[in-house]
Structure 1
Amino acid sequence: MRIRPLVLALVAPLTLILTGCGASGGDDIVDVVFIGTPEDLTETGLRLAPAAQHLRAATAEGLVALDAGGNVVPAVAERWIVTDDGLSYIFRLRNSDWPDGTAIEGEAVRAELERTIARLRGTSLGLDLAKIGEVRAMTGRVIEIRLASPMPDLLQILAQPELGLRRGGAGMGPMRAAESDNGWLLTPMAPRTRGLPEDPRWEDRARQVRLRALPASEAIAAFDSGAADLVLGGSLVNLPLADVGALSRGTVRLDAALGLFGLQVHAGRDGENGLLADAARREALALAIDREALLQPFSIGGWIPTTRLVPPGLPDDIGTIAERWTDLSIEERRALAARRIAAWDGGEGGEEGGSAAPRATIFLPPGPGSDTLFTQLAQDLAAIGVTLARVDSADEADLTLVDRVARYGGARWFLNQFSCSLDRGLCVPEADLRVAEAISAPDPITRGALFAEAEADLLSANVYIPLGAPIRWSLLRGGVQGFEENRWSIHPLFPLALRPI
């Protein structure tokens, strides 16, 4: 079976229907399987796998949460206001209790938020939170977050699973989770136990969700056999596997995800005089890739390729950075790139045409999609005289795949992913300084200009080779309610547990 073409856009989620809808999901339990490993669901650290993120969000909501469509909705905070200058967010907490029965008050929430923010320092999410200057408990059930400069994306960041509020390791729902031999069983909490108005139809509406994490082939097999109603966490790495099953009872859904999909360049892997030690030769590799044709083997029509690091059209984009090399055909780009590669002395310090052949190594996660992507990239680089070799460890690779969905729709998220403090690969200290300056910049034009300078610095250094938007897919059985495609590829479990009214 062949995946039919679709149009993939940044802001409009689309559905790729392989076959007609069939039987609906189970009436009493919705079976959800994440593509991953069973160990993913037991992660408790700061860097959570998607399965663990969704489990955390279901059992430990934060001040706010994301709904099925990816929109910010009230959670522990029942409402909030933002001051006119955008520097203060004031939250009114709902009248409910911690799992131990203690009433939720502002001081405890303030302390938990500050502990979480402190623990996140040194991570990319910690960088996103850098504008928070102070968290204050104002009265019994009111807290205030003060910012160094306006931060329109604050609510979106506070809705991330890692910002869920917990006390003694336990969160406040909206679901309770119990580990079983077959994954985790999640039970939705009645509204009255969460400080919400009584729902007289609750017993009729609520049902359980069984959550598991399995390798892609096993997850798809579970869906095909009827043992799973929803499969989440698919990416380009495993997309071809969605072709092999009968899929007679469901559909494939693709999120129009916003994020990064490209190649991170690593410093020093090929030596100080290596092929990728020079920005112009790194650009040569970027020039050689035919992005328009890169994903043609996957039959994903309308995929959005890019040569930029920050997608155009975001609120911070002031329009000064454009797509690169638009005045050159792919043939002209490859001719330019080939000349740069031919001029390299092989890293031996000798004359032109030194002994070492142009070669780069790449690490891609195992999977049939990675195999296809590698074939495409190897062909593109061979056109300029570079041999691309695949290695089994990211620590040994000159290039590694970046396949990451954005936390929020701001330029700062994209730029923060390449901060030198994260030590993910080559970086540009000057770009970090521009982003740091933007944190305290009072007006959006100045911030946008600083972000544009930072992006220009990173693009000029060619520390990252952009390819396009990330691919995220799910399998959804007909009749399952509470699922929506969205640009964050976040699919909360709580809405799945509610039968339609």
Structure 2
Amino acid sequence: MLRHSALLLSAALVASCGGAADDGLVRVAHMGDAASLYAVGPELAPGAQLLHGAQQQGLVRFNAAGEIVPGLAERWIVTDDGRSYIFRITEFDLPDGTRLTARAVAEGLEESIERVKGTSLGLDLAKISEVRVMTGRVIEIRLRSPMPGFLHLIAQPELGVALDEGNAGPMLAEREGDATVLVPIPPEFRGQSPRRNWFEIVDRVQLAPYAPRAAARAFEQGQVDLLLGGRLETLPLAITGALSRGTVRLDSAIGLFGLDVLRPEGFLATPANREALALAIDRPSLVAQFNLSGWTGSNRIVAADMPGDDGSVAERWTTLSLDQRRSEAALRVRQWQVQNGAAAAVSVYLPQGPGSDFLFAALAEDLASVGVTLQRAEQRDGADLALRDSTARFAGARWFLNQFNCAFSAPVCSPDTDYLVELSLDAADPAEEASYLAEAEQTLTATNLYIPLGTPIRWSQARAGVEGFSENGWAAHPLFPLSKAPI
């Protein structure tokens, strides 16, 4: 495999030489350090997901628009009951000359599934009851019950298949210092028809870690073509740049964006007092200073309109105005102060960045309106509250609820919620499953150990002419499409 990789990388380098203004290299900056880009483990950081997904694809993968496209499987069908996915594996020779088989892919997938056990991704995969080899090129994955978002789940980079004979791509990588250069594997090595002059029609992709301010400066100065990994805390770095107009790209991502109650003690010891904080926050105005069109916030844990939503859970406090909510919250604060003879004060940990400064100021003003002083914690350890900010792997209530499993999210969790989510796995029908999950959300909501704010904010910057990039609801921006590979 090493010799095969070296030959392809060498061919790509030769093809890219020639002194043209376009050197055939798409330079991508990812906001974060090298440790996060090259991190290993059961669940990967966003930068590491980019690298892993480019080198080890699974049965399916994401395209630039966040849609599911073939990976190692060239096509698939879903049985009428929704409990069986049958994949036909692409036929091609591996670097050592052996044929890719369904058994090798199945074994690699089972290893990936085993590796993520004990994580939230492992819980997401709990519906898989069996991975079965049907023929030399066909795999069946059986589920305990139907799961509409299953293909998005198995497209996750952590489920890329590692083969004993070497990675099956779609790209090969070579590290250069903190950066990595990736080359698209020619189609004949991926079970497709050969294309003439392959390395002349595709680009190489360079991925490098950058500190947030350095990334914004590099983009503004034309040193990089694409900037990835933007979040709320770094958003002001983009919108203040001289060349940012028209280049900032926002993903309408679903996921979790809110405050975890890390220390349910003192004023935060009771669900009613924790709810007082949630009542006081003016969500539509929370990020008004960023002028994010369409972001209105939410006080639900699970995003609205998920598949299987039975409509029994809605936004809270819809019959109360903000003034009425704050009046109730202020009453609870005064009662606690009288009983305890102390002022109500809580601390919050937020990621470093100018966007977090704006968010803190808005939250502090909201809580001050009901008599609670908000302080900024320098470290997560010891803080009363901390920001939770993550994008969903698939559209379904189970993803949201699995994030709060007591196995890894204590004290922000509920054993009763975990029990209901577990029951939902073997529900007799979709209606029963939706009922279990709705009850689970209501149970977790009642603890007020998580204070929802709204949807995650993800942004990128793309220079004019960059192909293979698109905003999408998963904030998924794979590297392979950036190479302009036609296949």
Provide TM-score, normalisation by structure 2: 0.92
Alignment of 1:276 onto 2:257: no
Cα distance in 2 between the residues matched to 1:434 and 1:230:
43
Bigger shift: 93-102 or 370-379? 93-102
Query: How far does residue 477 in structure 1 lie from its aligned partner after superposition?
Result: 0.4
Alignment of 1:334 onto 2:333: no
Where in structure 2 are the equivalents of 1:46-61 lying within 5 Å? 46-61=42-57
Where in structure 2 are the equivalents of 1:169-184 lying within 5 Å? 170-181=166-177, 183-184=179-180
Name the aligned partner's letter for residue 188 of structure 1: P
Cα distance in 2 between the residues matched to 1:86 and 1:152:
8
Instruction: Identify the match of residue 223 of structure 2 among 227, 235, 244.
Output: 227
Where in structure 2 are the equivalents of 1:220-369 lying within 5 Å? 220-247=216-243, 251-266=247-262, 269=263, 271=265, 274-344=266-336, 352-369=338-355
Query: How far does residue 27 in structure 1 lie from its aligned partner after superposition?
Result: 4.7
In structure 2, relative to structure 1, the CA distance for the partners of 1:28 and 1:182 (3 Å cut) is farther
Where in structure 2 are the equivalents of 1:91-170 lying within 5 Å? 91-168=87-164, 170=166
Bigger shift: 416-425 or 478-487? 416-425
Query: How far does residue 47 in structure 1 lie from its aligned partner after superposition?
Result: 2.5
In structure 2, relative to structure 1, the CA distance for the partners of 1:314 and 1:423 (3 Å cut) is closer
Instruction: Identify the match of residue 418 of structure 1 among 398, 404, 423.
Output: 404
What is the number of residues matched between the two proteins? 468
Is the CA contact (8 Å cut-off) linking 1:121 and 1:127 kept in structure 2? Answer: yes
In structure 2, relative to structure 1, the CA distance for the partners of 1:277 and 1:180 (3 Å cut) is same
In structure 2, relative to structure 1, the CA distance for the partners of 1:202 and 1:415 (3 Å cut) is same
Alignment of 1:82 onto 2:78: yes
Q: Which runs of 5+ in 1 are unaligned?
A: 1-24, 346-351
Q: For 2:359, what is the secondary structure of its paired residue?
A: helix
When you count helix as a share of all residues, which structure comes out higher? 2
Query: How far does residue 248 in structure 1 lie from its aligned partner after superposition?
Result: 6.3
Q: For 2:253, what is the secondary structure of its paired residue?
A: coil
Name the aligned partner's letter for residue 64 of structure 2: A
Alignment of 1:448 onto 2:434: yes
Query: How far does residue 84 in structure 1 lie from its aligned partner after superposition?
Result: 1.4
What is the aligned-residue RMSD (CA, Å)? Answer: 1.9
- Deviation string for 1:374-393 (max 9, x for gaps)? 11101111111111111122
Alignment of 1:403 onto 2:399: no
Residue of structure 2 in register with 1:3 after alignment: none
Name the aligned partner's letter for residue 125 of structure 1: L
Aligned-pair identity (%): 51
Alignment of 1:429 onto 2:429: no
In structure 2, relative to structure 1, the CA distance for the partners of 1:499 and 1:190 (3 Å cut) is closer
Residue of structure 2 in register with 1:14 after alignment: none
Q: For 1:237, what is the secondary structure of its paired residue?
A: helix
Query: How far does residue 423 in structure 1 lie from its aligned partner after superposition?
Result: 2.5
Cα distance in 2 between the residues matched to 1:280 and 1:171:
53
In structure 2, relative to structure 1, the CA distance for the partners of 1:265 and 1:99 (3 Å cut) is farther
Cα distance in 1 between the residues matched to 2:178 and 2:146:
46
Bigger shift: 168-177 or 60-69? 168-177
Is the CA contact (8 Å cut-off) linking 1:98 and 1:167 kept in structure 2? Answer: no
Cα distance in 1 between the residues matched to 2:308 and 2:385:
29
Where in structure 2 are the equivalents of 1:182-221 lying within 5 Å? 183-200=179-196, 202-221=198-217
Query: How far does residue 264 in structure 1 lie from its aligned partner after superposition?
Result: 1.1
- Deviation string for 1:448-477 (max 9, x for gaps)? 111111111111111211111111111100
Is the CA contact (8 Å cut-off) linking 1:258 and 1:488 kept in structure 2? Answer: yes
Cα distance in 2 between the residues matched to 1:142 and 1:500:
26
Q: For 2:139, what is the secondary structure of its paired residue?
A: strand
Query: How far does residue 371 in structure 1 lie from its aligned partner after superposition?
Result: 0.7
Residue of structure 1 in register with 2:13 after alignment: none
Provide TM-score, normalisation by structure 1: 0.90
Is the CA contact (8 Å cut-off) linking 2:84 and 2:141 kept in structure 1? Answer: yes
Residue of structure 2 in register with 1:45 after alignment: 41
Cα distance in 2 between the residues matched to 1:100 and 1:289:
60
- Deviation string for 1:9-35 (max 9, x for gaps)? xxxxxxxxxxxxxxxx94510001111
Query: How far does residue 275 in structure 1 lie from its aligned partner after superposition?
Result: 1.1
Residue of structure 2 in register with 1:391 after alignment: 377
- Deviation string for 1:168-190 (max 9, x for gaps)? 59521111000003500101110
Residue of structure 2 in register with 1:491 after alignment: 477
Cα distance in 1 between the residues matched to 2:180 and 2:106:
30
Residue of structure 2 in register with 1:13 after alignment: none
In structure 2, relative to structure 1, the CA distance for the partners of 1:278 and 1:270 (3 Å cut) is closer
Name the aligned partner's letter for residue 125 of structure 2: L
Is the CA contact (8 Å cut-off) linking 1:223 and 1:230 kept in structure 2? Answer: yes
Query: How far does residue 298 in structure 1 lie from its aligned partner after superposition?
Result: 1.3
Cα distance in 2 between the residues matched to 1:309 and 1:222:
37
- Deviation string for 1:134-175 (max 9, x for gaps)? 111122121111111111211111100000011359521111
Name the aligned partner's letter for residue 330 of structure 2: A
